[in-house]
Amino acid sequence: MNNGKAVVLVVEDSTLIRMGAVDLVISAGYEALEARDADEAIRILESRSDIDLVFTDVQMPGTMDGIKLARYIRDRWPPVKLIVASGTAILEESSLPEGSRFFPKPYNDHAIADAMAHMLSSETMRCSIISS
**Mean predicted confidence (pLDDT) in 1-9:** 81
Residue 101: pLDDT over 80: yes
- pLDDT single digits (tens) 49-93: 999 999 999 999 989 999 999 999 999 999 999 999 998 877 777
Q: Which domain holds residue 75?
A: 7-131
Beta-carbon contacts of 97 under 8 Å, excluding residues fewer than 6 positions away, are 70, 71, 73, 74, 82
Q: CATH number, domain at 90? A: 3.40.50.2300
- pLDDT single digits (tens) 6-54: 999 999 999 999 999 999 999 999 999 999 999 999 999 999 999 999 9
Asked whether residue 17 is assigned to any structural domain, the reply reads yes
**pLDDT at residue 126, as a whole number:** 46
**pLDDT at residue 2, as a whole number:** 56
Asked whether residue 1 is assigned to any structural domain, the reply reads no
| Residue 103 dihedral angles phi and psi, to the nearest 5° | -135, 130
Please give the tally of structural domains in the chain.
1
This prediction has a pTM of 0.88
Asked whether residue 124 is assigned to any structural domain, the reply reads yes
Buried b (16+ CB within 10 A) or exposed e, 115-129: bbeebbeeeebeebe
**pLDDT at residue 122, as a whole number:** 55
Q: Is the dihedral of CA 68, 73, 78, 80 positive or negative?
A: negative
DSSP state of 2: B
Asked whether residue 126 is assigned to any structural domain, the reply reads yes
Asked whether residue 31 is assigned to any structural domain, the reply reads yes
Spell out the SS3 assignment of 54-114.
EEEECCCCCCCCHHHHHHHHHHHCCCCEEEEEECCCCCCHHHCCCCCEEEECCCCHHHHHH
**pLDDT at residue 88, as a whole number:** 83
Compute the distance between CA of residue 128 and CA of residue 9 in angstroms, rounded to an integer.
Answer: 18
Beta-carbon contacts of 111 under 8 Å, excluding residues fewer than 6 positions away, are 103
Asked whether residue 107 is assigned to any structural domain, the reply reads yes
Cα-Cα end-to-end distance for the chain = 16
Asked whether residue 15 is assigned to any structural domain, the reply reads yes
Compute the distance between CA of residue 100 and CA of residue 62 in angstroms, rounded to an integer.
Answer: 22
Asked whether residue 2 is assigned to any structural domain, the reply reads no
- pLDDT single digits (tens) 115-130: 999 999 854 444 444 4
